[in-house]
């Protein structure tokens, strides 16, 4: 697919967007809230414009390369934004197959608390949490994207997780199976 994208095949690029849209969106949602739609779109437009220059044999994976573009766009937007909407991170709808309505309701409530707590984290902590937990990147890749040493990634991640756990309190003792 990547080769076809590099040759300008629109159907292949469509496949690429479909494959990576949720990972890019998750990072943008963590960093830019309601602007995530717009920034996800802009990320893929830039990916499309420069994919012929991406080196598959280079140090960065395709996912890491795209997330670097998304991360920079989010940073630029945050700097330039004069008109901005602050909304909580989007909550996913209820999914089929849940153990039961009451249990699922509790999970939704818990997720809402989690996302609210995440919205309150500093930007750099939100970024590492999103890149690690939602995009599945390794510490080394996160360090490259964030432009910080490996140790800083680890400490930011630890601080972020600690803040989230503190915000959730002892909820997990009763709800998480």
Residues that bind other proteins (CB under 8 A): 10, 13-14, 17-18, 21-22, 24-26, 29-30, 34, 36-38, 40-42, 44-45, 48, 82-85, 89-92, 107, 110-111, 114-115, 129, 133-134, 161, 164-166, 168-173, 176
User: What's the Cα-to-Cα distance from 25 to each of 10, 17, 47, 66, 123, rounded to whole Å?
Assistant: 21, 11, 14, 11, 16
Hunting for tokens 């089929």 — which residue is that?
96
Minimum CB distance to other proteins smaller for 60 or for 114: 114
Minimum CB distance to other proteins smaller for 150 or for 158: 158
Minimum CB distance to other proteins smaller for 37 or for 149: 37
Question: What's the min distance (Å) between Cβ of 57 and other proteins?
Answer: 26
Minimum CB distance to other proteins smaller for 41 or for 68: 41
Residue 18 neighbours by CB under 8 Å, 6+ apart: none
Minimum CB distance to other proteins smaller for 36 or for 67: 36
Q: What is d(CA 41, CA 38) in angstroms, rounded to the nearest whole number?
A: 5
Question: What's the min distance (Å) between Cβ of 131 and other proteins?
Answer: 12
Q: Burial code of 35-44, b = ≥16 C-beta within 10 A, e = fewer?
A: bbeebbebbb
Question: What's the min distance (Å) between Cβ of 158 and other proteins?
Answer: 10
Question: What's the min distance (Å) between Cβ of 137 and other proteins?
Answer: 13
Question: What's the min distance (Å) between Cβ of 81 and other proteins?
Answer: 9
Dihedral over alpha carbons 74, 75, 79, 85 (to 10 degrees): 30
Contact 29, 124 (CB under 8 A): no
């Amino acid at each position: 697919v990547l080769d076809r994208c590099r040759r300008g095949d629109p159907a292949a690029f469509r496949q690429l967007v479909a494959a990576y849209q949720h990972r890019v969106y998750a990072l943008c949602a963590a960093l830019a809230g309601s602007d995530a739609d717009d920034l996800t779109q802009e990320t893929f437009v830039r990916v499309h414009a420069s994919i012929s220059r991406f080196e598959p044999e280079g140090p960065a994976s395709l996912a890491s390369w795209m997330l670097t573009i998304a991360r920079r766009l989010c940073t630029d937007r945050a700097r330039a934004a004069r008109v901005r909407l602050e909304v909580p991170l989007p909550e996913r709808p209820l999914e089929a197959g849940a153990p039961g309505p009451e249990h699922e309701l509790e999970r939704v409530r818990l997720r809402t608390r989690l996302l609210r707590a995440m919205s309150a984290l500093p930007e750099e902590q939100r970024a590492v949490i999103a890149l690690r937990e939602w995009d599945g990147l390794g510490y080394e890749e996160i360090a490259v994207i964030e432009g910080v040493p490996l140790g800083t990634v680890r400490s930011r991640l630890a601080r972020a997780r600690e803040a989230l756990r503190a915000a959730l309190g002892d909820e997990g003792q009763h709800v998480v199976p």
